[in-house]
Amino acid sequence: MSIQTLATSPFADQKPGTSGLRKSVSIFQQPHYLENFVQAIFNSLEGFQGKTLVLGGDGRYYNREAVQIILKMAAANGFGRVKVGQGGILSTPAASCIIRKYGAFGGIILSASHNPGGPNADFGIKYNIGNGGPAPEKVTDAIFANSKTITEYKQLAAPDVDIDRLGESRLGDMVVEVIDSVSDYQALMESLFDFDRIQHLLTNGSFRMCMDSLHAVTGPYAHAIFEKRLGAPAGTVIHGVPLEDFGGGHPDPNLVYAHDLVELMFGPDAPDFGAASDGDGDRNMILGQRFFVTPSDSLAVLAANAKLVPGYKDGLAGIARSMPTSAAADRVAARLGIDCYETPTGWKFFGNLLDAGKATLCGEESFGTGSNHVREKDGLWAVLFWLNILAVRQESVEQIVREHWQTYGRNFYSRHDYEAVQSDRAHALVDYIHAQMPSLKGKTFGAYTVDYADDFSYTDPVDGSVSKNQGIRIGFTDGSRIVFRLSGTGTQGATLRLYLESYEPNIAKHHLDPQVALGDLIAIAEEIAQIKHYTGMEKPTVIT
Ligand code: G1P
Ligand code: ZN
């Protein structure tokens, strides 16, 4: 087996987005495309000779081929060992768990998260650092810089490795260790949650749950944990076999894409609890019987009930949420007397807060919740957290959330996505709002008066790094907010995200449909941004 150095030339489009590099499969299949990016990752790291790399992905189309390429490149570049998930499978939170548990140098995760998979859909790759979390911007900037000047990459000329059989083999001087994809992660979950109590809930005959894995990576994890370990009846996990194209579906756990689960949970014979996770297992959606829990509310409820869960019984150091996430968690933090941090969109911004012990729970409105147990958001962790609370409180999901609103007031919240907008039109819309920003403060729209209008900028309280232009915020004097952002994960044109939030302390109004409660703000957003005009769309493609 010899190390080959192959000549290449740069691709101009390898800038990592909100969560790694995501492109269509056909782009990744161009000769040298994946290799260039992987070499750019290695070129921007120092001191990994002889060290361990963790490798795995969500099982989408091209996962297995990419694993083989990366193994041979890791060997040629001097890694000592690669721990690869069996069959190339590792959920994002499991990869984070394994990096941390074994003190690995870092990890490469192959996923385009909730984007569809298959030969005509998307693929993705992201690098995680030694704390188990997504590479911070200084690392992704270095990777991008490297990708623009790359002239060669290294790979070992060797046959493919058998990644389906557990155990160790050698690739040149490097050890390839094929590991069980689930066991380390399951052990971590057992250390945090009261499995005996959850088992009792799931086997007492009066409680039913449904977990929709959307034919994505959490299938094997959910089968092992809910059915095998916790005793839930077979069939509790649906769409539990990972498929390369996710069965043709869109592996995004929201009310639109998890439609089978939603139909079941809002139907006549609905189970007590429903949940779904995304392509790579880091997102979650929580449903009660005919009841949807917004991710923002979910974070707040988990925080308010954390002391009921063994892993968090000593309380929380702080809570962190992304800027567009509702302020429901802030109210819990205020009552608990702990700090609440507001960060830009993307899990990487939570890493420093978690490492510094400033935050214990983190959440994003985009169906992401997690804690300091790993450095990624974690879908099944959130499901287990809810099950633990349900097992202790013996109330329904709806009762728990309604009682939460009674105590803290309700933050009405919704996100409207306009997908696949022509890029230039989307940027024109942003420019149009920017042009108005200096004159918005003090302006009234019906009953609403603008309190501030700015472009969110974040100064990391740990390392002082500044991230600018993280979304346009328009705040009103009553605490309501409208936020506009362009997605950093889409692969077709641009995606405009409009986030809407208002606060309602009056219990008599808590039953309102959020789209009704937010009706005035939706109209104001249209007035300020001329969304229909710029996007050419009459209504959003997805409302959550
Ligand atoms: C989206 C979500 C964001 C999340 C990211 C990765 O990014 O909005 O909260 O961290 O996916 O899962 P966006 O497409 O908005 O840039
Ligand atoms: Zn994901």
pLDDT digits (tens, 9 = 90+) for 173-194: 999 999 999 999 999 999 999 9
| Residue 490 clears pLDDT 80, i.e. is over it | no
Residues 241 and 306 reside in one and the same domain: yes
Residues 208 and 352 reside in one and the same domain: yes
With both helix axes pointing from N to C terminus, report the angle between 379-393 and 195-203 in degrees, rounded to the nearest 10. 70
Residues 302 and 443 reside in one and the same domain: no
Task: Determine whether the shortest distance from the Cβ of 113 to ligand 1 is under 6 A.
Answer: yes
Give the closest residue to 14 by CA, choosing from 6, 48, 32: 32
Q: What is the CATH number of the domain that holds 484?
A: 3.30.310.50
| Residue 1 clears pLDDT 80, i.e. is over it | no
Full strand arrangement of the beta sheet holding 368-371: 339-343, 318-322, 361-364, 368-371
Residues 175 and 34 reside in one and the same domain: yes
Q: What is the CATH number of the domain that holds 150?
A: 3.40.120.10
CA–centroid distance, 63 to ligand 2, in Å, is 15
Going from the C-alpha of 11 to that of each of 35, 148, 153, 523, the distances in angstroms are 11, 7, 13, 42
CA–centroid distance, 476 to ligand 1, in Å, is 25
113 is catalytic: yes
What's the number of domains the chain is made of? 3
Give the closest residue to 531 by CA, choosing from 504, 496, 506, 500: 496
CA–centroid distance, 368 to ligand 2, in Å, is 8
Residues 175 and 219 reside in one and the same domain: no
Task: Determine whether the shortest distance from the Cβ of 63 to ligand 1 is under 6 A.
Answer: no
Q: Which residue has the higher pLDDT, 488 or 179?
A: 179
Q: How much of the chain, in percent, has pLDDT values that exceed 70?
A: 100
Q: Do the beta carbons of residue 462 and residue 352 sit within 8 Å? A: yes
Residue range(s) defining the domain that contains residue 450 = 410-543
Calpha distance 39→35 (Å, rounded): 6
Active-site entry in 19, 44, 91, 113: 113
Residues 154 and 30 reside in one and the same domain: yes
Domain boundary among 160, 181, 202: 181
Mean pLDDT value across the chain:
96
Calpha distance 11→522 (Å, rounded): 40
Q: Do the beta carbons of residue 329 and residue 299 sit within 8 Å? A: yes
Closest ligand by atom to 281 CA: 2
pLDDT for 363? 98
Task: Determine whether the shortest distance from the Cβ of 297 to ligand 1 is under 6 A.
Answer: no
Q: Do the beta carbons of residue 152 and residue 40 sit within 8 Å? A: no
Nearest atom within ligand 1 for CA of residue 346: 10
pLDDT for 136? 87
Residues 389 and 504 reside in one and the same domain: no
Residues 332 and 211 reside in one and the same domain: yes
Task: Determine whether the shortest distance from the Cβ of 491 to ligand 1 is under 6 A.
Answer: no
Calpha distance 71→82 (Å, rounded): 7
In degrees rounded to 5, what are phi and psi of residue 62? 85, -5
Residues 54 and 192 reside in one and the same domain: no
Segment 229-256 shows an average pLDDT of 95
Segment 340-355 shows an average pLDDT of 94
Residues 205 and 107 reside in one and the same domain: no
Residues 194 and 177 reside in one and the same domain: no
Task: Determine whether the shortest distance from the Cβ of 140 to ligand 1 is under 6 A.
Answer: no
